[in-house]
């Protein structure tokens, strides 16, 4: 299916959650650079990162983007138009009541932040009003979370494995979930900007 023919009610979505790991940095940077400044939905990003490097990631992602990108503090209120990046060495949970909470629980899939946990909690809160996007990555983290998201009525998008630098993660999603769209980076950006 091409995204031009999609019949999507813009107002049906309230949030976007994105997961990525090895090979996703360039993709994320491009998405954040080319997404419309008027894009209003909050975006939650769980990206695998070095646990002991607390600084620099937000700055690197912000260079080309007009979006406000932050690493939330615990119990931060979710605001429209903001991009929330899971901080180093914390899991990021989306809570009922429009809050983000953080946790230092055990690593999941050898990862903290774990994509599975952000996807699971976000889809629990937003049900069928969330878009999940899985990008390039070298492990299976996120596959379970995307399955939950789809099961709760969320809209599932996977970066085309053929375009991924490492396709383990996207393939893991596709193996267990019948996703809505498989898109190249440019199409993901177009899809998001169509929602504005």
Partner 1 sequence: MIEDIEINDIRYLCHIVQEKYNYDFSNYAISSFKRRILRVLELFKIENMAALNEKLKTEPAFFKIFINEITVNVTEMFRDPSLWRELRDKVLPNLFSTHDTIKIWHAGCSSGEEVYSMCLLLKENGWLHKSKIWATDIDDNILAKAKDAKYPMKNMAEVNEKNFIRYGGKGKIADYYKEEGGFAKMDTSLVEGVNFRIHDLVRSGVFNKFDLILCRNVLIYFNQQLQNDVFRMFHESLFNYSYFVIGSKETLIWSDIASKFITVNQEEKVFKKVKE
Q: Is 14 in the site for partner 1 (CB under 8 A)?
A: no
121-143 per-residue burial string, b: 16 or more CB within 10 A, e: under 16:
bbbbbbeebbbbbbbbbbbbbbb
Three-state secondary structure call for residue 39? coil
DSSP 156: E
Give the footprint of partner 1 on residues 21-80 (CB under 8 A). Answer: 52, 54, 71-75
Which of 57, 90, 119, 155 binds partner 1 (CB under 8 A)? It is 90
Active-site residue (options: 65, 116, 136, 141): 141
Q: One symbol per residue from 93 to 132: x for binding partner 1 (CB under 8 A), - otherwise; what is it?
A: xxxx--x-xxxxxx----------x---x--x--------
| Pick 105 or 186: Cβ nearer partner 1 | 105
Torsion sign (Cα): 169, 172, 176, 178:
positive
Tokens 């600084």 found at: 55
d(CA 14, CA 155): 11
Active site residues: 21, 48, 141
User: Residues in the site for partner 1, rule: CB under 8 A?
Assistant: 52, 54, 71-75, 87, 89-90, 93-96, 99, 101-106, 117, 121, 124
């Amino acid at each position: 299916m091409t995204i031009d023919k999609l019949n999507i009610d813009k107002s049906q979505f309230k949030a976007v959650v994105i997961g990525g790991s090895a090979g996703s940095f360039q993709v994320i940077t491009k998405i954040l650079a080319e997404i419309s400044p008027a894009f209003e939905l909050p975006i939650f990003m769980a990206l695998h990162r070095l646990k002991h490097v607390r600084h620099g990631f937000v700055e690197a992602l912000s260079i080309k983007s007009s979006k406000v990108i932050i690493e939330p503090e615990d119990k931060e209120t979710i605001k429209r138009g903001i991009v929330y990046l899971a901080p180093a060495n914390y899991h990021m949970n989306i809570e009922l009541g429009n809050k983000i909470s953080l946790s230092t629980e055990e690593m999941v899939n050898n990862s903290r932040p774990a994509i599975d946990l952000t996807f699971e909690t976000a889809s629990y809160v937003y049900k069928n009003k969330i878009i999940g996007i899985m990008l390039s990555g070298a492990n299976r983290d996120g596959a379970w979370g995307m399955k939950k998201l789809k099961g709760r009525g969320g809209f599932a998008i996977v970066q085309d494995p053929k375009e991924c630098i490492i396709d383990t993660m996207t393939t893991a999603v596709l193996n267990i979930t019948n996703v809505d769209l498989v898109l190249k980076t440019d199409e993901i950006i177009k899809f998001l900007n169509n929602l504005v």
